[in-house]
Structures are given as C-alpha cells and as structure tokens.
C-alpha cells in the first residue's frame, strides 16, 4: 500500500515537472501548455487585479455622498478630482492585466487558447473607465466584444461600452450597442445580464431626462437585480421618476418598497421624507402625517428635524392650509442648524408663497436669505438671484415713494398738527426700540445663564447636557444671536462702544457681564428728536418739487419692474395709472400712457378680459397719446406696427457691423478698426453702438502707443456718454493711466539717470511696456502637438534636485505607465525650470496638469508655494519661451487658452 502511494506521488511530481518544463511555450496548444498559462494567468495576476477592482468599487460605495432630494445617479462614480486619486490603483490593475496578456496569451492561428485573456482586456477597459480615459476604455471594450465573440465576456464588454458612450453623452451610439447585444440570446449569456442590461438602459434615458422611457427599464432593473444595495438604489430612483411624472401614489408605494428593503438609515429616512414630498391632495395624507410627526418626536432624527418640518409644510400647502404651511416652513428654517441647503430651501418656499400672494416686501426678504444659504450650483440659482434683485429694486422704489409721500404730506400740514403727529411717531419708535432692547437683554441673560462660570464646571459628566456640547442648542443660540445682533466681527468687546476687557481671566463672562447689561441700558437712542425730523422735511417749493420727481421716477420704475420682470400687470397698471392721474405733465407721462396702452391691448388680445369701458381699455390710452403727443415715438409705434420691426432690423444690422469691427480689433487689424470707427462717428451719430465705437477707437489708439490722444479720447467718452458702461470703463482706464503717470513721475524725480522726457512721454512708454507684456501673439495654440509640463521657480525658493525627486515620486505613483522624463535648466539668471516630458497632445498634458494641481499629499510643498509657476506648453511654444525668457507672458497665454 505504501509502495503504491509512493509510485503515485512520484508520478504526480513527474507530471508537474513536465508541466513546468514544457508549459512556458505560448505557441503550443497542448493540455500542459494551456494548464500552465491558464493557471498562472488566473491566480498570479488576474485574481489580484480583480480583487483590487472590487475593493475600489466598494470604497466608492462607502465614500459616496448622495443628495436624496435630487434625482440619484444610477451608478456610484468618482468625480474628476476623485478620478485622479484612483490613478495608482487603476494603473496597478492595468499593469497586472497587461503582464498576463504579454506573457500568457496563447493566440495560435487566430484562436486564443488562454481563457483568461479576454477578462484581462475587459478589466483594463474598466480601469481606464474609472480613470476617465474613455477613449482608451472604449477601445478595450470594443476589442473585447468583437475579438471574443464566443466568450461570455463579450456581454459585459458590450454593456461597459454602452456605459462609456453614455459618459461621453454619445447616446445614439450607446443605444446601438444595447440594441445589438439585446438580440444575442446565446446560452452562454451571464445570469445577471438582464439586470445589468436594464440598469444601463435606465441610466441612458435618465441622463437625457427621458423619464417616461426610463420607467419600464428601471422597473425591470429593480426587480431583477440581486445586489441588495443596488436594488434599494434603483427602487429609490424609480420612485423619484414616478414623482417626476406626477404619479404620486406609485411614487409613495415605491418609497415604501425602499423602506421594506431595510437600506442604510439615511436612505430609509429620505424614503420616508420623499413619500411626504410626493403627496398630492387626491390622496389621504393622514398616514404620512402621522409617520412624519412620529419622526419629529424621535431624538435620533434631531439633525433631520428641518427636513421633517419641511415635508410637513409641503403637505399642508398642498392641502391649501397655507398659514399652517408657512408656520411649519419657519419652524424648518429655525431647526436647520448644520444644513444651510435645507434652510435655503425653506426660505425659498416662503419666498415663493409670498411672491404668489404679491407680498413683495416679505418675498424680497426671503429671497435674500435664500441666496445667502443655497449654493450657487443649486438648480435655478441664477433665477432666484435675479428674482431677488428685481424685488430689491422694487422694494427700494416702493420705500422711495412711501418716504417722499410722507415727508410731502407732513410738509403740507399745519405746523401744530404736524408736530403732534411727529411726536406720536417718535413715541412709537422709542417704544419699539425699548422693546427690542429688552429682547436683547433677555437673550444675553439666557446666554449668560447657559455658560458655566467656573473653570471646570460643566466639563465633568453631563455629556451633551452641557450647553456647548449640544450642537442643536449652540446652533439655536447662534441663530438667535444673529437675529438680534446681526453679523458681528469676532473680536474682544464686540458689543461695547468703549472697548475694554470683557472676559475674566478664566475665559468666562465673569462679573463684567453685569456691566455689559448696564451699558446696554445706557446706550444712546437711535430715534431722532423733533427738530431733527423737522429738518428732513422739504421746506421750499424746489425741495417739494424734487421730492415729487423722486416719486415719479420711482413709480415708473415700479411699474416697469412689475410688468417686465415680475409679469404682474395689475400692480403695474396701478403704478402707471398714478403717474397718469397725478403727474400727467411730467416727462414720463407719455411713457406711462404707452405702457398702459400696451398692457390693456395684450389683455384684450388674449381674450376673456372685460373692462368697465372707462380708462381700462387700450383705445382710451391710444387716443390720449395720438391727441396729446402726436409727434412722439409712442404715436409712431401705435400708427405703424412695422416701426418697431424696422427699428429692430436697423439695430441688428448695426450690431453685426460693430461685432465685425470688434473682431478686427481682437485680430489687431488696427488700421481697419480706426477707419470703421471714424466712419460711424462722423456719419452715424445716432448709431445704437456709437459709445462702443468711441471706446474701441480709444483702445486702438492706446494699443498704437499714442498716449496723448488715448487720454483725450477717454475724457471725451466720460463726458459724452455719462452713465453708460463705456463711460465707466473709460474712467477706469483713465485712472490706470494717471497712476502710471504718477508712478513714472516719482521714479523720474528719484532717478538721476532719467532723461528730460515729460510725464506724458513716460506714459507713452508705459503703455508700450504694458502692451508688450500683454502681447501674447508670439505664442500659437496647437491642441494636437506634443506638450511638456513646466514648473518655474525662483532660484532661492527651491532645490531643483529635491523638486525633481518629489515630482518623480508623483509620476511613479500616478503616471507609472507614461514613461515620463524630468529635466531641469535655468530659464533666466534668477529662475530655474523643471520640465516633465512629453505628452502626445494638449488633452494628455492637461490631464497631468489637473492631477498635479489637485494633489495635496506628495506635492503638498510644491502646490503650497505661491511663487511657483506651473503650466503646460507645446514644444513650439517652449522654444519661443526659452528665446524670449518671459514666463509671465506665456502664463497669460496658458490661462486664456488652456484653463
């Protein structure tokens, strides 16, 4: 028995030795050759590369930050910065898989006998996909799908290829790939193919916001996917898609399915909140309301209270319980401590409600708050800011009208009645000021009582019970502080008129808080005296007329804002009508009449408008304009409907000619520019772009180093076109010129070697120097040419050997496969330059540059030095740079063309 076993062992060892000895050949397809290369490919290289890929994908899931109140992306992918951080892992995967292909591919007579080669090509493609190298990934996936038609990997390759096209927004190509692979129903199709196929299809349509088309694919994907995390995510997205299509009940049911799957707590919480936000009045709200109120009572939801109250508010508003909804929104904003985005959303909803109700002053205040808290990338942020700006202008004008109305009314009153009214007003203001002061004192006392007065009091035990360990309490206190005191600079004795030490030696408020409270009670009142208010009233006829003019201007602006920006015709009519009734002899009266004519004409043409027939129809204001202002532009607009069309055609023609002139200026065709400008200035004084022609002429003269005429033209623009952007620009340029002249005059006085040229001559030289510094025409932009990366640093500020070593470590970590070389040299007497070469084109060079700039680990010391210049440069431009030694000029070129 022992002899038999020994023979068997000897035989196996012999077979193994033969496998090792004969298995190295990749040109023979025998069993031992296939066994060796398949085994080595799988366990020595591919297994480790695939495990590394799985770890990377798991890490992406763990580090994701989802905004559940916006449509979730289907896949968890790195952003551009995170892609750079993945370079080392992905490059190692690529290295391992490339080694398998190079050493173990057994392609004999166009047939591959190593069953792991296709998997390695696929993994190389996936690694490039995560790096954001979509062209290379696309090449790998296409090759794998076409080359290995008999392998299971072709299905995965096709799906990854479709995903790559989607990332590049090549949706038609992605659709073609999916259509082709869908028809392949071979028996070797992977079990999870349909789930992955439907998921990719869902992503394709969602990226295009084609929610109706995405819906059936999401339903199938969520049903077929077996991965727990992905199933919950797809179900959540499906619910969001239902909501986008106003399918409230289906959305609510889908969110309920998410909750049943027991996902991570954050997703579960937002599924509950989203159920409330998907509600519409056709459904019974009670179940959702009960769930939300239960969540509001649960302390573990403390950081989410703002969102809970927001969801409750939305249900109340949907059910037309507007006052209750407003109260809940205000509560939401108050509860929002560490979530400025949600606070901004609550303010935005309040602003929208007040805007719809035409409570514009309140709406303005909430739009201002919204713009403060919401990030600039929030959807519709520009519209929010624009609406807020419109309301700011509106409210400013409303206050102007109210203020001037009141001072005119007071000025016209009997002295005794006027004084009595002012004294009542002063008493009311003093009472309100005292109320606010008492509120401030009470708030300060609350803060004082919350702060421990001993050195170690409050440290022991208590945990979150101590005031400053409780983020909610601290946040509430901070909001109350800001509400009462406003935004204050962080400094000692911020509240005192006379700065003295506020805190005791132990850092607490100490006894000085009592003196602060006393000091607050002794502050000077902001309420003016009777004599001060009387002094503000207009006294003469001229002052009263000036106040009336302010009212007229503000009323017209109010009407225009209502009509043009806020689309509120009724309030616009009220404003224009007051001008027509009370200020019919003013300069803006014809404009007000025409605005009223246009508003009523649009109402009549829209249909359904029925007026009283007295002053509330277009015919009335048409007759007023034609009889009282027959020669005005407004009469021409009424009589000739084509007048505005011909005027617009003229404007467009003049615009096209001006734009062509501007292009010539940018191309430095200065002679042609001066001819065009002089022609328009002399022959077309009413040209819509006349001020712009003057400015281009001035800039052209300045570019041609004619300092005297440059200054003269700038001064002419400021006088001729006062209040225009061109005049403001001219004033800015003139200021810069004057600074140059003053600086040169000082240098001339202190420099014994300065010649006798006058200040204007020096200014001409300064213009020449400035122009040469900005003249980047020596460089050419070539996307497809070979590029270098350059680092320029002052000789005293860096050690070239150390910097090269650091950059070399970075290259090894992030660009190991690029075969980059590093050299250094002096670019001038005081600066050294390190060159990393070379990159095939601009895209490759900028990928290196962007990865370099965001690295705060290996390159921390380099990227933290302000005096270092970093840019990419084509080989042709590099030659020009070395010849001219002017890195600052190239830096301008780089920033304008590459960034």
pLDDT surpasses 50 at 751? yes
The predicted structure's pLDDT at residue 254: 93
882-899 confidence digits (pLDDT tens)? 877 778 888 888 888 888
Task: Say which residue, 460 or 527, is predicted with more confidence.
Answer: 527
Q: How many CA atoms lie within 13 A of 672 on its CB side?
A: 12
The predicted structure's pLDDT at residue 448: 57
Instruction: With beta carbons less than 8 A apart as the criterion, state whether 178 and 200 touch.
Output: yes
Sheet arrangement for strand 821-826: 821-826, 831-839, 787-794, 869-874
Confidence bin at 499 (pLDDT 50/70/90): very low
Average pLDDT score, the chain: 80
pLDDT > 70: percent of the chain? 80
5-51 confidence digits (pLDDT tens)? 555 555 444 445 554 545 455 555 556 656 766 666 666 677 888 88
Q: What is the DSSP string of 301-350?
A: GGGGHHHHHHHHHHHHHHTT-HHHHHHHHHHHHHH-SS-HHHHHHHHHHH
Q: Is 696 exposed, middle or buried (0-12, 13-18, 19+ CB in 10 A)?
A: buried
Confidence bin at 728 (pLDDT 50/70/90): confident
Angle between helix 305-318 and helix 340-356 axes, rounded to 10 deg? 20
Instruction: With beta carbons less than 8 A apart as the criterion, state whether 421 and 413 touch.
Output: yes
Cα–Cα distance for residue pair 252/258, rounded to 1 Å: 10
3-state secondary structure string across 802-824: HHHHHHHHHHHHHCCCCCCEEEE
Bridge partners, 835 (sequence order): 790, 823
pLDDT surpasses 80 at 674? yes
91-135 confidence digits (pLDDT tens)? 888 988 888 787 766 676 666 666 778 888 899 999 999 999 999
Which H/E stretch holds residue 120? Answer: helix 117-131
Angle between helix 725-750 and helix 759-774 axes, rounded to 10 deg? 110
Cα–Cα distance for residue pair 401/125, rounded to 1 Å: 68
Mean pLDDT of 724-735: 85
The predicted structure's pLDDT at residue 577: 94
Of 849, 851, 855, 700, the C-alpha closest to 789 is 849
Of 578, 622, 573, the C-alpha closest to 404 is 578
């Amino acid at each position: 028995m022992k002899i038999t076993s020994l023979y068997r062992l000897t035989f196996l060892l012999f077979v193994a030795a033969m496998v090792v000895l004969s298995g190295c050949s990749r040109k023979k397809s025998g069993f031992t050759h296939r066994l060796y290369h398949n085994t080595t490919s799988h366990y020595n290289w591919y297994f480790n590369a695939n495990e590394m890929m799985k770890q990377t994908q798991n890490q992406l899931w763990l580090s994701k930050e989802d905004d559940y109140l916006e449509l979730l992306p289907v896949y968890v992918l790195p952003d551009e910065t995170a892609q750079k951080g993945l370079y080392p892992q992905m490059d190692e995967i690529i290295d391992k898989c490339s080694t398998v292909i190079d050493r173990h591919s057994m392609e004999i007579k166009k047939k591959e006998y190593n069953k792991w080669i296709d998997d390695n090509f696929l993994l190389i493609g996936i690694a490039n996909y995560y790096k954001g190298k979509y062209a290379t990934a696309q090449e790998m996936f296409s090759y794998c799908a076409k080359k290995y038609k008999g392998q299971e990997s072709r299905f995965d390759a096709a799906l990854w290829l479709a995903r790559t096209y989607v990332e590049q927004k090549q949706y038609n190509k992605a659709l073609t790939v999916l259509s082709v692979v869908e028809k392949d129903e071979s028996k070797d199709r992977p079990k999870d193919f349909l789930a992955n196929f439907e998921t990719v299809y869902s992503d394709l349509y969602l990226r295009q916001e084609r929610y109706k088309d995405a819906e059936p694919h999401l339903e199938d994907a969520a049903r077929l996917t077996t991965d727990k995390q992905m199933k919950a995510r797809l179900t959540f997205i499906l619910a969001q898609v239902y909501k986008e299509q106003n399918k409230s009940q289906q959305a609510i049911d889908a969110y309920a399915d998410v909750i049943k799957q027991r996902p991570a707590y954050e997703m579960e919480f937002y599924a509950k909140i989203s159920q409330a936000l998907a509600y519409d009045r056709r459904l019974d709200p009670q179940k959702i309301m009960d769930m939300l109120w239960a969540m509001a009572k649960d302390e573990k939801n403390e950081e989410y209270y703002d969102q809970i109250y927001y969801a409750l508010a939305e249900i109340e508003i949907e059910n037309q319980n507007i006052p209750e909804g407003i109260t809940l929104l205000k509560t939401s904003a108050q509860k929002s401590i560490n979530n400025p985005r949600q606070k901004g959303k609550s303010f935005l909803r309040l602003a929208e409600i007040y805007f719809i109700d035409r409570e514009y002053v309140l709406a303005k205040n909430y739009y201002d708050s919204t713009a403060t808290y919401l990030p600039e990338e929030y959807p519709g942020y520009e519209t929010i800011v624009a609406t807020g700006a419109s309301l700011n202008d509106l409210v400013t004008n409303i206050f102007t009208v109210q203020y001037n109305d009141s001072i005119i009314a007071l000025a016209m009153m009997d002295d005794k009645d006027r004084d009595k009214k002012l004294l009542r007003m002063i008493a009311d203001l003093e009472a309100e000021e005292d109320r606010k002061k008492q509120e401030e004192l009470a708030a300060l006392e609350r803060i004082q009582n919350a702060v421990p007065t001993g050195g170690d009091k409050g440290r022991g035990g208590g945990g979150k019970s101590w005031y400053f360990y409780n983020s909610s309490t601290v946040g509430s206190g901070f909001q109350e502080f800001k509400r009462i005191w406003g935004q204050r600079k962080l400094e000692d004795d911020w509240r005192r008129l006379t700065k003295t030490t506020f805190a005791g030696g132990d850092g607490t408020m100490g006894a000085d808080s009592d003196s602060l409270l006393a000091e607050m009670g002794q502050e000077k009142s902001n309420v003016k005296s009777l004599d001060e208010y009387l002094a503000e009233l207009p006294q003469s006829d001229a002052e009263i007329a000036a106040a009336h003019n302010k009212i007229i201007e503000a009323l017209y602006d109010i009407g225009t804002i209502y009509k043009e920006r806020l689309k509120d015709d009724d309030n616009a009519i009220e404003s224009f009508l007051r001008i027509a009734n009370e200020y019919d002899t003013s300069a803006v009266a014809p404009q007000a009449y025409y605005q009223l004519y246009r508003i009523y004409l649009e109402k009549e043409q829209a249909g359904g408008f029925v007026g009283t027939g007295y002053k509330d129809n277009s015919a009335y204001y048409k007759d007023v304009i034609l009889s009282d202002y027959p020669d005005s532009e407004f009469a021409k607009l009424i009589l000739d409907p084509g007048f505005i069309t011909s005027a617009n055609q003229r404007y467009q023609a003049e615009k096209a000619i001006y734009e062509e002139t501007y292009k010539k200026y940018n191309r430095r065709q200065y002679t042609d520019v001066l001819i065009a400008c002089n022609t328009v200035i002399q022959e077309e004084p009413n040209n819509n772009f006349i001020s712009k022609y003057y400015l281009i002429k001035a800039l052209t003269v300045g570019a041609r180093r004619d300092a005297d005429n440059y200054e003269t033209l700038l001064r002419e623009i400021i006088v001729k076109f006062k209040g225009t952007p061109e005049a403001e620009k001219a004033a800015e340029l003139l200021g810069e010129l004057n600074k140059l002249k003053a600086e040169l005059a000082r240098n001339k006085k202190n420099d014994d070697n300065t010649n006798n040229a006058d200040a204007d001559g020096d200014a001409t030289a300064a213009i020449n120097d400035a122009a040469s510094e900005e003249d980047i025409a020596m460089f050419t932009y070539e996307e497809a040419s070979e590029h270098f990366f350059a680092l320029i640093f002052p000789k005293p500020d860096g050690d070239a050997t150390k910097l090269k070593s650091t950059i070399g470590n970075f290259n090894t970590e992030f660009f190991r496969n690029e075969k980059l070389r590093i050299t250094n040299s002096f670019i001038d007497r005081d600066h050294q330059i390190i060159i990393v070469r070379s990159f095939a084109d601009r895209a490759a060079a900028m990928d290196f540059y962007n990865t370099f700039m965001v690295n705060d680990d290996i390159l921390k010391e380099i990227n933290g030095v302000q005096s270092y210049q970093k840019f990419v440069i084509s080989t042709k431009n590099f030659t020009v740079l070395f010849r001219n030694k002017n890195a600052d000029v190239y830096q301008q070129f780089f920033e304008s063309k590459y960034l």
